[in-house]
Amino acid sequence: DAASTPTSLSRDWLSVQEVVDAVSSSSCGAISVFIGTTREDELDGRKVIGLEYEAYELMAQSEFTKLCADIRERWPTVTHICVHHRLGWVRPVLPWQISSPHRHDSQQAIQRCIDQLKANIPIWKKEVYDTQDSSWKENAECSWSTRNKSSSESV
């Protein structure tokens, strides 16, 4: 079956099974999945109770496309790639799935996907705390991030 690369940014929930089905293939023996979830960190006496994501959607979509092309160039046996990143108030956040005939390619490819997503794709995250505060968090791994431009606001 032909290689596919569905990518989506959406406010809707997608089940893990739907994403697994999207990458299953009779030519593949390996499916690697990464699911990002809300980690309820406690820091400075307040606890994260949820996350909110916003994106510059057009640019994020174009970065997803570039990233998937890069993955296919690095691991030519990669067959299907499915990227689903949620926006708005969410948990869990992102199931990413990659299938390949043998396991090493899909495992290495998924790690690069998530590393590059954190580094290059314009999606922002707001942590919401149990103290009614929230703050937009920048990604420390992001190439155009400056560690001190995050802002706080009340919810």
Contact between 7 and a copy of itself per CB under 8 A? no
Among 9, 22, 28, 60, binds a copy of itself (CB under 8 A): 28
Paired tokens of 75: 């691991």
- CA dist., res. 50 & res. 98, Å (int): 27
Q: At its nearest, how many Å lie between a copy of itself and the CB of residue 122?
A: 20
Contact between 17 and a copy of itself per CB under 8 A? yes
Size of the site for a copy of itself (CB under 8 A): 28
Angle, CA of 83, 124 and 128, to the nearest 5°: 110
Q: At its nearest, how many Å lie between a copy of itself and the CB of residue 90?
A: 13
Contact between 29 and a copy of itself per CB under 8 A? yes
Contact between 101 and a copy of itself per CB under 8 A? yes
Compute φ and ψ for 102, nearest 5 degrees: -120, 155
Looking at the Cβ atoms of 5 and 36, the one nearer to a copy of itself is 36
Looking at the Cβ atoms of 15 and 151, the one nearer to a copy of itself is 15
What does the binding site for a copy of itself look like in residue numbers (CB under 8 A)? 15-17, 20, 24, 26-40, 92, 99, 101, 103, 107, 110-111, 114
